[in-house]
Amino acid sequence: MSAADFDLFVIGAGSAGVRAARMAARHGARVAVAEPAALGGTCVNLGCIPKKLYSYAAHFGEAFEQAAGFGWTADTPSFDWQVLKANRAREIARLNGVYERLLLDAGATLMRRRARLTGRGVVEVGGVRHRAAHVLIATGSHPVVLDFPGAELAVTSNEMFHLPEFPHRLVVVGGGYIACEFASIFRGLGAQVTLLVRGEQVLRGFDEDVRGFIAQELRKKRIDLRCRSEIARIEREIGGLRVTLRDGSSLVADTVLQATGRRPNTDGLGLEDAGVALDGEGVIAVDEHYTTSVPGIHALGDVIHRVQLTPVAIAEAMVLIDRLFGGRARRLDYELIPTAVFTHPNIATVGLTETEARERHVDVRVFRTEFRALKHTLSGSEERTLMKLVVDAASDRVVGLHMVGEEAGEVVQGFAVAMKAGATKAQFDATVGIHPTAAEEFVTLREPVA
């Protein structure tokens, strides 16, 4: 047994693990972090950050076209996939370095190898065992793939950022936010995109108006959106991949992306050896304080069954560390968590869908507007914007706010603060809008829809 003892041993250096380690170290705890992969986790390396960078890149294609309506003329632009990849890789490498400096400057011990539990409070790294008063599992998740003939010929979201060649014909399998985002991004970059959704509509769990509206907008962007469609098999042929659907039809693609969900990274962590209980599909069971079935072993983020968003995992880490080392016991409020989907146009939402609101409240008022943004009166684009408020009539509180439109995430973040503070529809109505903006529509909606 190694003589090195720690107050906190963090397995996983994603956003939540790094935040937990830093904050614990600030409280004077002796902290170790084990991570064999690039620091920053999925968000920094294979998720939020590179995806948003590629989304920016995709918007330029439309911007060049739309500029003509505002009097600009320029040579025909061209896109270089290799340049985008190289620039993205350089920025991600910079962020990896930032995360390493944050840990080391905080005084944490960083171990660049895989860790596993060998017992309660015992973590083995590279054959050396370390004792810790508390262990935090924050190892994130990975993409899952459907099982059908030729499935190995498809890629996951992990590979999409560094494909050797740009996929001029892309088939995306899935109807969740990752599938819709990649479909939008690669369509904007110039690919011919087919989006195959097994269900009746994209984005299950989102407000029904949002789902229908974004499906309409995706089709406007010339994405071939096919609902109630499933892959039967993929075969390699000269010139590409033959994708055959269950209805017997087929299409040819350069790349097939499977974006059909994610699973916690809990295999090989020694959870069984430590007695940590799982709650199906590799999910770690935790109590309201993020403690597992074994005292002293904690878990948060994508490995538990809560809200799987990076800011939520970071917030969970702060709550845990405050309790363990800061002398402050509190709980995270999972109500009114805002989120965005970086489709083209963007989606942002906070609070209840209309369906959820009607299940919780006796009387619900809905305010909705759909319009062509001022920018597009000259750009020539047919893109439209959707805004929707869901109000509990009894209290007049705004319990749901939804937007599909340009920079929706930037707009909705501020309204999320107001809703967290308990804003009512009357207070929305009493707020003066900033003109001319799309955001002002949220404070000028007066008549509820039938």
Tokens of 299: 């878990």
Q: Are 366 and 448 in contact (CB under 8 A)?
A: yes
Tokens of 107: 């005084």
Strand ranges (E), 199-346: 224-227, 231-237, 240-245, 250-253, 255-258, 262-264, 297-299, 339-341
**What angle (nearest 5°) sits at the alpha carbon of residue 177, between those of residues 21 and 136?**
20
Neighbours of 329 (CB within 10 A): 10
Please compute Rg for the chain using Cα positions.
Answer: 24
428: helix, coil or strand? helix
Active site residue 435: yes
| Distance separating alpha carbons of residues 283 and 279, to the nearest angstrom | 5
| Distance separating alpha carbons of residues 37 and 26, to the nearest angstrom | 25
Half-sphere exposure of 14 (CA within 13 A, CB side): 30
Contacts of 53 (CB under 8 A, 6+ apart): 88, 91
Q: Is the peptide bond before 345 cis (omega within 30 degrees of 0)?
A: yes
Active-site residue identified among 142, 289, 361, 435: 435
Tokens of 290: 């993020």
Token pair 């590409």 in the structure block, residue: 240
Q: Which amino acid is at 125?
A: V
| Distance separating alpha carbons of residues 353 and 346, to the nearest angstrom | 17
Contacts of 180 (CB under 8 A, 6+ apart): 195, 202, 203, 214, 218, 341, 343
Half-sphere exposure of 363 (CA within 13 A, CB side): 6
396: helix, coil or strand? coil
Q: Are 377 and 389 in contact (CB under 8 A)?
A: no
N- to C-terminal Cα separation, the chain: 70
- Classify residue 397 by its DSSP letter: B
| Distance separating alpha carbons of residues 185 and 62, to the nearest angstrom | 11
Question: Annotated catalytic sites, by residue?
Answer: 435
